[in-house]
Structures are given as structure tokens and as C-alpha cells.
Structure 1
Amino acid sequence: MRLSSALIIASTFVAAALVAIVAANFSVKLIEETSEIGVRDALDDAGATWAEVQADGLTVTLSGIAPTEAERFAALTTAGTVVDAARVIDGMEAKAVAAIRPPRFSAEILRNDAGISIIGLIPGSTDRDTITDRFAAMAGESTPVADLIETADYPAPEGWEVALDFALVAMEQLPRAKVSVSAGRVAITAITDSAKDKLALEKSLRAATPPGLRLSLDIAAPRPVITPFTLRFLIDEDGARFDACSADTEKARTRILNAAVAAGMTTTGRCTVGMGVPSPNWAQAVEQSIAALAKIGGGSVTFSDADVTLLANEGTDQGTFDTVVGELENELPEVFALYAKLPETQAPDQGPPEFVATLSPEGQVQLRGRLSNENLRNIADSYAKSRFGSDRVYTAARVVEGLPSDWSTRVLAGLESLSNLSNGAVTVTPDKLTVSGNTGDADASTRIATLLAAKLGEAEEFEINVTYQEKLDPQAALPTPEECLAQIKAITDSSKINFEPSSATIDASTLSTMDEIAEVLKTCGDLPLEIQGHTDSQGREEMNLSLSQARAQSVLNELRARRVRTATFEAKGYGEERPIQDNDTEEGREANRRIEFWLIKPQASAPAPQTTLESLAESGDNSADEGAEENDASDEPDGSGDATE
């Protein structure tokens, strides 16, 4: 009986234990399923469908490949909102991120009288020692070179080495400049001594620019230093005019030109604003002197710094001359000294001795008249040959006695003046030196007046009758960019450029057209030009784009082969995106297969000097003053001149 009771009690405990175990297992399963389902639903709602969820007891393991570290962390956070974060086990991985992009390599080079400094980040492959050695050679032993370059161990981007090499070469020509270098681009900010030096420097740099390199130039030319500060105004039978005019400010220039107009000048006056004025009252003194000359009735007034020379015309009334000169002497500001002269009237049969040098339009020079001694004749002959060429000078001057003591100075000053002309003559007499002729230099009169004032002295009389002719000016004679494109259009209208079928090779039958275009471009100077390639819509778009680029480049290469300076040219293909006629007809497709020449014009909104293309949409037509276009399709009727599938 006792054994039976004990057995029952033991069985009861065993049964209870089994029930508890079953209940615990059921509870665990329920918790696992609830946790796994809840976390999975939350991740799906958050867009993390890539995550796998597995519950094991009270823990929840997340696995899978997260697109990024941020999304992996977001998945952990989402799971922590469903179950206790301590129960979440992170078994996820993130995709390998792309290699870190290389930094932007650039360098700033500054050169002035204090030395050379370079700062920036360059690739580790660039030879840093070579750069610093070249700058040290430019600077010299006494000028420091500040090396603030940092390097990064990344490959050099395309166009970096070309840009850096060009910057080093350019810096040798730039004693005062800042050069910014980046891959494929160089920006130069510099200052020159004169507008002429600025033009020469810009031409030199553009001519040396490698193909494909974008060059931005910002070169300033300060006001020229004029020494002596010169002005010469005269009134004669040809009217009132300036031979030379200088002013220290824009306001002073306006005052001087207004005074000349009041004295009878009817032509457009030209007055150079420069530095070196001897007095802040320069404009006042010039106004008063021009007004005095007008009262006398004619002659010339010359300023050489603060020395003023007024020469009246022969035959001027003595009383009028004395009165006007006296008033002017009292009115002139301090510093200015006046010398006035009224020439004596000579008898008609008493002509003075003279020396004459003539320069023909062909460049031939003749020296005739009188020279004071044999030594002067040899010097004049040698000087003329050095200026004009040994085979272009013919000397027929004779030696006579009794000439003025300053005759040699006047003769040599006259020859130097003649060298500023394209053609003309110089006449030297004891009382006067006359220079007349034509020139293609707008500043020639000013340069001659300054020269004669310095060589002869402020009290000597000279006359300058020099005419500026634009056709003689090598710069002004250049056609405008629009005129160049009009000439190209005229050529392509009469003879098309064709390519071999489905090829970028120019057909041999149209190479003569390239010859004509090259001859035009050689006369156009540095023309910013984009050579565009266009196709019709037949074939795949990417193939048409590639073919149009290759054809535009072929045209550029042909121009280079003909020794056209193409540093400012670009070749660009537009494929089929810019049709000018309907591609549904053969005639339209043939018209769309073409090469176009367009000017590259500055983009005003860019923060730094850039270039952009004036598009067809902006122009609204195909007029010759904006672009020249030509059909470059093959003559084959099946349209094989473009890329086809």
C-alpha cells in the first residue's frame, strides 16, 4: 500500500515535469516565431528586403549583404524597435565600396620681383625636383623659390602633365604673373609694359598651346610711361590737328580734345593716356596754349614735359603775336616755360640748303641733298642700311661746307623718323625738319613727335604730315572672324568636303577644298573655332556620335597638316542631335551629314574665363556672319557616308 502511494506521488511529479517541459518548448517556439515574423515585417516595411532574419530562442540573428554601411546600421535599428536590441545579433555584411576618388590636382604659380612661389597638390608620379629646379633656374641665385607643393599617391589625370609642362614654359616668358594649372587647363593672369607687348605675348602663348589644352588669358597692359610727356598741335592750310597728344587722365584727355575742337579741329582726335606728366596742371596749360595758337591764326605748339614751344606761321602780324604770347606767358601755370618764335620772311629766290630721304612703298630708300662732311655721309649711309636693308639704300648726297653745326643731328633724327613709316619722305633744312608719308602704325605720329622733341630740342621747328592707313596696319588688315567664316562658306558652297563611305577619311577628290580653307584660315590670326561634325539619324545613335567626332577631328588634322595654327580650334561631334532638315528624305539626310565651322564665344556667366559655342538655336539661321557649313556626306545615294547598323 505504501509502495503504491509513493509510486503515484512520483508519477505525478514526473508527469508535471513533462507537462512543464512541453509548455516551455511551446513558449520558446511561439516567442521565436513571433520575433522572427515581427522583425521580418518591420525590415520589409523599411525597404531592407535584402536582410535575412533567423530567431533562435530569445536571440534574433540578422544576415545578408547590405548595399551600404548606412543601410546595415538602419536594419539593426529597425530590428531593435521590435525586440530588445540586446537580443539582436548582427551577422550582416556591407558591399565593398568603390575605391576612394582621387583628389583634384591643381597648382598655383606666382612670380614677381620678390621671387617665385608654387602651392598646390600634385600626383606622386610628377617629378617634383624637376619643377623646383626649373623655377630656381628662372629665378636666379639671388631670388628665392617658395616650394609649398603637396603630393598624393594617385595616378596623374589625363591632361595634367601637358598642362603643367606648358605652364612651366609659359612662366619663362612671364616675369610678373599668376598661373593656375589643372588637368587639361591653364589660366594665366599677367601684366605687361604696353598694349603692344600684351598683343605679342598673347600671340606667343596661343601659338605654343598644345592641342586639346584649354588656355585662359587675362593679360593687362598698364598706362604707358611717356617720356618726355609730349604733345604737338598745329594749325595750317590742311586744318587743325594733333601730331602727338598725351594726357594723364581720361578727364584731361577730354579737356584737351575739346580745346582742339574749339580751335578748329574737325577730325577725330587721338590722345594717349599715360604716366609721366610733369604737372597736375597739364590739361590747363595745353588748353591755354591751343587757344593762343588759334588766336594767332596758325602755326604749331609743342609740349616736351614742361617746355612749351609756340611757332607762328610766317607772315603772322607782329602785334598780334606779341599780345597773344604775352597773355599766354602770364596765364601758364607754374613749372611751364614758354618759348615763342615768329619766323622771318625770306626772299623768294633764297631757298635754304636741304637734305632729303625718301622711302618708296617697295622699301627702296634714296638719300639726296647736302651733308656737312664725308664722315656724316658714311654714317647716314650705314644707318639707313641698318634700318632698311643694305640692298635697298641708294646714297646720292654731296658734301658741302657752311651747313649748321647741328646738321648731323637733324639728318640722323630724320632718318630715324622715316623708319616709322611704310613710305614717305624726310626733308631737313636749317630752320625746319619735315616728315611726311603713310604708316600702318596708329601711334607713329606720336612716336615721331616724341623722338624729334627729344633729339632736336624744344625750341626747334619740325612738321609731321603722317597719314595712318588701315590697309598698312598688319593687325587692322586682318579679316574679322565673321569675314573669315564668310570666306569659308563661299568655298564650301562651291565645293563640298566628302568622306569615304562609313569612314572618317576625307575623300581624295575634295582635298583641294581643304587647301582653300587652310589658306583662308592662315590670314585670320588666332581664331577661336569649333569644327562640328553632324550625321543623319540612320544607324545607332552612339555610332553616329562616334563617326561625327572622328570626322570633325579629321578636318582638324588636315588643317594642322597644312600648317594652320589650330591651338584655338576644337573638334566636336554632335551625331544626329542637330538636324537642319527632315531625316525622312534622302535630300534631308544628305543635308544633315555635314561639317560646320562656328566661333567659340565667351560665356559671360562663367566665374572664370571660359569659352562656349553660340548654338544654332540661338542664331536662328545659317548666315555667313555666324558660321559656315558644308555637306560632308559621301556622294553615294545609299547614304553610306554615315554610320549605319
Structure 2
Amino acid sequence: MGAKWVWGTIILAIASLILSWIFYVPKIASMENDIRGALAGAGYDFANVEMDGNIARLTGEAPSEAFARDAASIAENTECKACKGKRSWHVVDNQLSFTTLPTQSPYTFNAIKDDNGNVVLSGYVASQEQRDAVMAKATSTFDGTVTDRTIKIAMGAPDANWEKVIEKNIDELDLLDSGRFAMENYTNFISGEAASADVRARINQMGANMPEGYEFAANISVPDMAAENVGEVKSATICQTLFDDLNDGKKIFFQTDKAEIRGAESFDLLNTLASAANQCASFRIKVDGHTDNVGDAAYNMSLSEARANTVVAYLNQNDVELSRMTAKGFGETQPSAPNDTEEGRAANRRIVFTVTQSE
């Protein structure tokens, strides 16, 4: 009887070990796959996962200490699908290393595409691997030359989707004949020239599907059609860039020695600027008038201010709130070119727009 009891106990122990192994090993594999999937879904592909019993060991190099902490938190809160709801079945051993990098704020990225399809990139990414991936994406996407002007590695990226958003913007920029995209933290803006309204609609639709938390705005023109503005631009820097781009190569003309706007080109530009001003509704706009040095200095000062006020009045007639704008004349005191040639004097007769923070 004693021998039978001993053998029975041994058999039961062996069976228990076999059964625990049968059910325990799949649970380990499931937990490892579940954590790996959760990290990949959050964009944390830098983290490797290996289970040692119920210990999930994380290894690899994170872009920053914050990313390493976030990865560990995701791993800790992942529920094992094969563990019957026992989320606390596993523990995390966070062995992720991270690089100490300077922190950039605001976190930005920009790309400019010229009429020949050449593209210049600049801005910030979280790692060398991310920089290489962005350059590879741009090189494979654009037909022209891709130039890395100043892509720098720094901490401060809004989240792990930063690279994904850059690549999405690259695909949108590729559809434009020329233009740019600008990113600042969660703000995304694309502007430029599209070949057709269908292309513009396609870009706007792509922008509407940004990852959660990212805001999209666009100002895309089509030949013989007015620009179609989508969304609000919530960066003063990007708004200033928009105004500068819209004014590039164009000018507001006035009657000689008067503050009366003349020419269809001037009104077309002002209409476009009014639309852009409303797209930058969170910011103030300074409208500064300048003249050449021909005539009396006091008269030029008065004329430049009157012209600036005329522009403000026109923008106000096109739904730009008067309280958001200021007008000031500088006369001949701030020339942008020498006044000793007609070309220089023409350059000095100008209206300058400056976007500032709201008070």
C-alpha cells in the first residue's frame, strides 16, 4: 500500500508538471506576442521583448528616457489574451537604454518642393534611425533631388507618431506641383500649387486622416481657381511663412502719390491674404507701409500710413476682424534696397505683413 501511494504521488506530480508546462508555455508565448504587438502599435519598435517565465524583459535603445518609461508602462498594462483576464500575471523588467539628447521646443519639421521637383528637408527627429527612414522615404518618393538641409536629432517629439506624420506629409507634398509642408508639435500645414481640384481634394482627404491628436490645415491653389483653405493654422511661425509665401513675387500697387489700390493683381493678392488671415484666426497681423525716398520725408511717412490703413480696411471688408489688425507707416526710414535705381525704389514701395501672438 505504501509503495503504491508513493508511486501514485510521483505520477500525479509528473502529470501536474506536464499539464502546467502545457498551459504555462502558451501563456508565456501569448504574453510576449501581446506585449510586442502593443508596443509596435504605439510606434515603439525600438523595444525588444523576451519572456523569462512571467517576467517580460524589455531591451533596446529608446530615443529618450520618456520613451523608455512609456514603453514600460505599455508593457505593464498589456493584457495577456491567453491568461483569462489576469492582467497582473506578468511583471516587466525594463532594461531599455536611452540616449541623452537636447530637448527641442517647439518640435518642427519642414519640407519645400520647387517647380523642378527638388525638395529640401529640415527639422527634428527622435533618432538616427528615424532620420534615415525619413530620408529614405523622401528619396524614394520625389523625382527630384532631396537635400537634407538641417535634420537634427533631439528630444521633444510630440509622440511616437512623429515619423509617421512626416511620411504622410511627404506623400501629400509629392502630389503638389510645388509647395511646402510645415509641422510644429501637433500642427500640420501644407500649401502650394496643385494641378487640379481633384488633386487638391485628394491631399485634403489624406490630411483629414492624420493620427489622433494631430491637426491638419491646408492652403492649396489650383490654376484659374481660388485657393481652398482647410482648417485653422495654430502656429504663428507657420502663419508668417504662409503670408511670406503668398507675397513672394507679388505686390500691392497704389495710385501714384495716393493710398488708392490699383490693378487686378493687387486685389487678387489681397483677397488671398484675407483668406489666409482668417485661417490664422488666433493671431494678430501688423500691416506696415513703406515708401521710397522721393519727395518730402514727412509726406512719405503720412502716405505710407494711409496705404497701410487702406489695406487694413480692405481686409476688414473681407471678414478679417479689425481688432486683430494694426496699421503703421514708416515712410522712407526702412528701405529694403538702395534708392539710387528705379528697381530699388520700386522694391521700397511696399506693404509688409507680420503675424504676432494675440494679446
Which of the five TM-score ranges fits, normalised by the shorter chain?
0.3 to 0.5
Give 1 or 2 for the bigger CA radius of gyration.
1
TM-score by length of structure 2 reads 0.41
Higher share in helix: 2
TM-score by length of structure 1 reads 0.24
